[in-house]
Amino acid sequence: MDVHNTPNFPRKRGSAGMLRFGIATWVVGLVLIGFAGTPSDKPAGKPSGTLPPLQVDPKTAPRLEEGPSEPPRSKKTTKKRADNSACYVCHGNYEGEELAQVHAEGNVGCVDCHGPSLGHRNAEDHLTPPDKMYPAEAIDPACQACHATHDAPAKKVLARWRQKCPQKTEPEQLTCTDCHGYHRLARREILWDKRTGKLLSSKPASDAQTNQ
């Protein structure tokens, strides 16, 4: 059927109907604006009653049944990237760290996970802790707030476990950050109790407890 010339289109609101509706609206947009702009980000709304009658040459019109089923991926590149520069001043090592970067790319910055931490950033003596720290038992629930499911093949997960944290022998011991990223510091100069923020030690690096 020629959806463009069907009165009262769309008739159906099933998925196929929606798909054709979306693309047809897009085609209308192209015709009306003469390709001057990009397709609207807004979901396909009802065509306004004031639109002029639609004229589409069936020979040049795109074949609707072959249209994309979801918005173009290129939208991703216009996404906002989190600005972590206030933290890189002292934590430059995280500028190339996987967990921090994959999240910065998704506009989740250090401050989204650790809080704005203004006192911590501005403390001359570095003894004020950041707003939010993560003792081991708090890690998984924090990640799962945004990642409710884990869509990864068991084989890959086991391989990663073996590769990154073979010292842990029971699955219950694993946290998300054992397998994802290299987010921990090998050496700590200043240690706080991650639950209370109480300062535990501020020895020079050589004397500090190693982390883990």
CA distance 208 to 26: 62
User: Does 51 contact ligand HEC by CB under 6 A?
Assistant: no
- Minimum distance from CB of 143 to ligand HEC (Å)? 3
Residue 192 found at the interface with ligand HEC (CB under 6 A): yes
Residue span binding ligand HEC (CB under 6 A) among the ranges 9-17, 30-38, 52-60, 190-198: 190-198
Cβ distance to ligand HEC smaller for residue 48 or 122: 122
- Binding flag, residue 183, ligand HEC (CB under 6 A): yes
Residue 182 within binding range of ligand HEC, rule CB under 6 A: no
Per CB under 6 A, the segment of 16-24, 32-40, 46-54, 179-187 that binds ligand HEC is 179-187
Q: Are 3 and 20 in contact (CB under 8 A)?
A: yes
Q: Quick one: DSSP state of residue 82?
A: P
Burial of 138 (0-12, 13-18, 19+ CB in 10 A): middle
The answer to whether residue 174 forms part of the interface with ligand HEC (CB under 6 A) is: yes
Distance, in Å, from the CA atom of 55 to the CA atom of 179, rounded to the nearest integer, reads: 56
DSSP code per residue over 99-166: HHHHHHHTT--HHHHH---HHHHH-TTS-SPPS----HHHHHHHHHTT-------HHHHHHHHHHH-T
Q: Which of 145, 154, 166, 169 binds ligand HEC (CB under 6 A)?
A: 145
**62/141 with CB nearer ligand HEC:** 141
What is the 8-class DSSP label of residue 46? P
Q: Judged by CB, which is closer to ligand HEC: 14, or 141?
A: 141
197 binding ligand HEC? (CB under 6 A): no
CA of 8: how far to CAs of 16, 47, 80, 92, 145, in Å? 16, 10, 39, 59, 43
Residue 156 interacting with ligand HEC (CB under 6 A): yes
Q: Which residues in this chain contact ligand HEC in the complex, by CB under 6 A?
A: 84, 86-87, 89-91, 94, 100, 102-103, 106, 108, 110-114, 117, 120-121, 126, 130, 133-134, 139-140, 142-147, 149-152, 156-157, 160-161, 174-180, 183-185, 188-190, 192, 194, 211
